[in-house]
Structure 1
Amino acid sequence: MMPWDLGVLLVLAVVPPYFELRRRGSPTRVYVIHMAMFVGLLVAGLMTEGELSLALLMGAVLVRSGTVPVHVWVTDLFKNCSFGTALLVVTPITGMYAAMRLVLPAQPPEWVLQGIGGVSLLTAVYAAGMSVVQTDARRFFAFLFLSHASLVLVGLELHTTISLTGALALWGSVIVSLGGFGLTLRAIEARFGRLSLSEFRGLYAASPSLAVCFLLTGLASVGFPGMSGFVAAELLVDGAVVASPVVGLVVLVAAALNGVAVLRAYFALFTGDRYTPRVPLGITVRERGAVLALTVLIFAGGFFPQTYIESRHQAAEMTLEDRSAEKPAVAPAHP
């Protein structure tokens, strides 16, 4: 796909959420401002050349990925849009795809990759800390997603085979696990309305299957052993520690805070005084099918990760080889 073809698709992807916000009578100002910034940076980057082009494209990637300080549109979207539409917009982590197709192939200088990595690392820790203290379930999920998306982008800056393999593997794992986590939250919302995490609701007795799915997908997203995100998170951490012990420590702090946030949300929603519903709240046949499919994917990726990790490793090696091949050769020194 040519850069302009991809650019057109990236621009078109921001249009449907705007019309849904309008249809629901929700405010659109925050979303429009940020998406206009994204489109402007993207178009300007595609129209220019050299380091200026890469700097503009880097800015577009950071806006689309919701990095600090341009992350407000993500929380605003989850607040004002339907949960399903918000999931479709953010869960694929489109900013990562744009970076892989538009920034990395152009052989960016070190300062571009370090800029992406530094801002993403800050966002990963900030968003993880914010997810721990949220009292609204949608805002909690939005910040949890922002932290994971930023961790994926951190692997690009390290530009080693291990770190890039971990980033690519974590990308796929986050789409599955956080996608399932969001669907579980949406299913709970369909029964109880907008959810608050400020009190213990005791919903386990009313819907134990959803409680299990909530915990399963949440733990998978933070890299619990035996699940799809475990190997990917280990690769990313190993690559970060090799590149810089400080970066590795920050990545571990962000991952630990995300784990705390997931467990806190689980205890707030499903433990405490038993909730006695007036209508049946058990899991439906369609939801059961989705839960089983997610469970298979999560545990298959955890116990049999070889094929997937090998394909991500090959993609990382090819990406780094292409970058090395395009770098100008250094003339040998004359005696």
Structure 2
Amino acid sequence: MSDFPWLTTLGLLPLVGAVVTAYLPSEPGAALPKQLALVFSVLTLAITVGLAFDYDAGAGMQYTESHTWIEAFGAHYALGLDGLALTLVLLTALLVPVVVLASWHDADDRNTSAFFAWILALEGLAMFVFLAQDVFLFYMAFEATLIPAYFLIGSFGHGAERAHAAMKFLLYMLAGGLIMLASVVGLYAVSAANGNPTYLISELAAMGFDKETGRWLFLGFFIAFAIKAPLFPVHTWLPDTTANATPGTSVLLICVLDKIGTYGMLRFCLELFPEASKWATPAVIVIAVISIIYGALLAIVQDDMLKLIGLTSLSHFGLITLGIFVMNSNGISGAIFYMFNHGLATAVMFLVAGYLMRRSGSQLIPDHGGVEKKAPLLAGLFLVGGLGTLGLPGLSPFVSEFLVLLGGFDYHWVVGAFSVTAIVLAAIYVLRMYQRLMTGPAYAGELSDLRPREVLAVAPLVLAMVGFGFYPQPVMDIVNPAVETVMVAIDQQDDPPTVPLDWAEHAEHGDGHGGADEGHADDEQGGDHQ
């Protein structure tokens, strides 16, 4: 493409749409704010798809923009797109129009303009987070995402405790942000001491840090990202938020904003502080495994379907974090692909659960039962989302989950053995929820099936899960070069495959595993050539 600032446009377009939408008449249920929000989000998706098709997977950072911003700090307005960022930018651009369509009537009794304006603002700020190539710019966008998220939860949530949930979410995120700020300031101090104050990621990665300094700076970033992700034990804001926010808001929080945590682990923790990341790996892997198992166990015993779906993400983010910190190609590629696939499957579950909740008036599982007899399409789409969540072969989450587990076994068989329990536990909480919600005697009340708009909203996500489940190569072509970059940054190489000694000896003498036949065939081929 040309030298046009496409990445700036990608971030500004939703923000401009947010401002325009906010100034529209705010009558409850007004159609124009919804339509305008959909137009801006679809335009953003169209630009993202265009950039993806033009993207050269083997060319590293592309569409770069860099301008001095605050010279005294060494801060730059620097944007760039590589495979890691593109994967999450694509996910964000896909999910926002889906959420707009699925949330069409969520604010009909409130300020419709403000609701859809905050959705667009969240999209634009998330784009800048994933595109930022300057730590200071990243931090500013990271903190700014809290503003629309807070209002979407507190002002437009449906739960009785939405104000409490919004405040709890905000306090957790601000605490993480303040801890990270200490490390951001530390980066300035270290770079200034070296004679060149800078926040450019490329320059900081080349600088290197002494062992003690690097470990302290790493901890500031990692704690903030662990809260954001979330991981055990800093996850307690998660179930309260998903239980009180609208399903569409939960999709934006869990499937987009929470990915900032795992994205930051790759972009900052591993690439800027490789020594500290290796030092912390044993502890992080323990935390990840606990999150995998604990989140799944909490989900099994939940009666609130929105809270249950939220807690499954604690387990899934444990798997993603595990894939990152096992520090091998299988684990890291699986983790990046998992971030994308988790967004698809979890979004389907949240949105279809929201459809059911609006029809029945309850989000409690025991208040339902027999839904599939009156709303088979709703039940079927919910099942597809659930099967994606539990990693059914043929759906794209299976591919990423398999790679992460393979990376776990490559790291150590004990880690792999504990992590693989996620498959069994996921089957329990998904199938048990489906059985309680959808099967049994027909639902007692009135219950209509999905309308065309509701099906249209989730159809792209289902198609993507099926398509990338059978043919994940297009995404993996984007992901794999990014994995190679991370592996170089942390100075890691995959262990070569090993062959048992007794097998190798038999093969060498041509008396095992077909060795004699192969040797005989080689002799015959040699005779023919002679």
What stretches of structure 1 move > 6 A for 4+ residues in a row? Answer: none
Q: For the residues of structure 1 that align with 2:456 and 2:438, how far apart are their CA atoms?
A: 22
Structure 1: tracts of 5 or more residues without a match: 326-335
Q: CA deviation at 1:200?
A: 5.6
User: Residues 216 and 100 from structure 1, CA distance in 2 versus in 1: closer, same or farther, beyond 3 angstroms?
Assistant: same
Aligned-pair identity (%): 24
- Report the equivalent of 2:395: 227
Counterpart pick for 2:184 among 36, 39, 46: 46
Is this contact kept in 2: 1:200–1:271, CA < 8 A? no
User: Residues 293 and 248 from structure 1, CA distance in 2 versus in 1: closer, same or farther, beyond 3 angstroms?
Assistant: same
Q: CA deviation at 1:204?
A: 0.5
- Report the equivalent of 2:473: 306
Q: CA deviation at 1:195?
A: 2.1
Q: CA deviation at 1:82?
A: 2.3
Q: For the residues of structure 2 that align with 1:111 and 1:162, how far apart are their CA atoms?
A: 20
Q: For the residues of structure 2 that align with 1:14 and 1:113, how far apart are their CA atoms?
A: 29
The code of the aligned residue for 2:228 comes to: R
What secondary structure, in the 3-state scheme, does the structure 1 residue paired with 2:394 have? coil
Q: CA deviation at 1:151?
A: 0.8
Q: CA deviation at 1:132?
A: 0.8
Q: CA deviation at 1:306?
A: 2.1
Deviations 1:232-290 (A, max 9, x none): 11111111111111111111112221121011110111011111443x61111111213
Larger radius of gyration: 2
Counterpart pick for 2:226 among 31, 55, 62: 62
Q: For the residues of structure 2 that align with 1:292 and 1:36, how far apart are their CA atoms?
A: 36
Counterpart pick for 1:96 among 262, 267, 272: 262
- Report the equivalent of 1:268: 436
| Structure with higher RCO (Cα < 8 A, 6+ apart) | 1
Q: CA deviation at 1:305?
A: 1.5
Q: Which is further off, 22-31 or 210-219?
A: 22-31
- Report the equivalent of 1:34: 172
- Report the equivalent of 1:168: 336
The code of the aligned residue for 1:34 comes to: Y
What secondary structure, in the 3-state scheme, does the structure 2 residue paired with 1:91 have? helix
Q: For the residues of structure 2 that align with 1:243 and 1:313, how far apart are their CA atoms?
A: 19
Structure 2: tracts of 5 or more residues without a match: 1-132, 157-161, 188-213, 493-530
- Report the equivalent of 1:10: 142
Q: For the residues of structure 2 that align with 1:56 and 1:78, how far apart are their CA atoms?
A: 26
Counterpart pick for 1:216 among 353, 362, 384: 384
TM superposition score normalised by structure 2:
0.59
The code of the aligned residue for 2:454 comes to: E
The code of the aligned residue for 2:371 comes to: L
Q: CA deviation at 1:168?
A: 1.1
Is this contact kept in 2: 1:206–1:277, CA < 8 A? no
Give the CA RMSD over aligned residues.
Answer: 1.8
Deviations 1:66-117 (A, max 9, x none): 2111111111111232222122112122211121222121133212333333
Q: For the residues of structure 2 that align with 1:225 and 1:254, how far apart are their CA atoms?
A: 15
Q: For the residues of structure 1 that align with 2:486 and 2:433, how far apart are their CA atoms?
A: 38
Q: For the residues of structure 2 that align with 1:193 and 1:145, how far apart are their CA atoms?
A: 24
Is this contact kept in 1: 2:348–2:462, CA < 8 A? no
Is this contact kept in 1: 2:153–2:249, CA < 8 A? no
The code of the aligned residue for 1:15 comes to: I
Q: CA deviation at 1:179?
A: 1.3
What secondary structure, in the 3-state scheme, does the structure 1 residue paired with 2:491 have? helix
Is this contact kept in 2: 1:131–1:141, CA < 8 A? yes
Deviations 1:197-249 (A, max 9, x none): 23661111121111111111111122101111111111111111111111111
- Report the equivalent of 2:455: 288
Q: How many residue pairs were aligned? A: 324
Is this contact kept in 2: 1:67–1:123, CA < 8 A? yes
Instruction: Establish whether residue 193 from structure 1 lines up as the match of residue 335 from structure 2.
Output: no
- Report the equivalent of 1:331: none
- Report the equivalent of 1:330: none
What secondary structure, in the 3-state scheme, does the structure 2 residue paired with 1:198 have? helix
Q: For the residues of structure 1 that align with 2:381 and 2:174, how far apart are their CA atoms?
A: 37
The code of the aligned residue for 2:155 comes to: R
The code of the aligned residue for 2:260 comes to: T
The code of the aligned residue for 1:119 comes to: I
Is this contact kept in 2: 1:207–1:281, CA < 8 A? yes
- Report the equivalent of 1:319: 486
The code of the aligned residue for 1:7 comes to: Y
Is this contact kept in 1: 2:146–2:170, CA < 8 A? no
Q: CA deviation at 1:22?
A: 4.0
Is this contact kept in 2: 1:113–1:156, CA < 8 A? no
TM superposition score normalised by structure 1:
0.91
Is this contact kept in 2: 1:165–1:312, CA < 8 A? yes
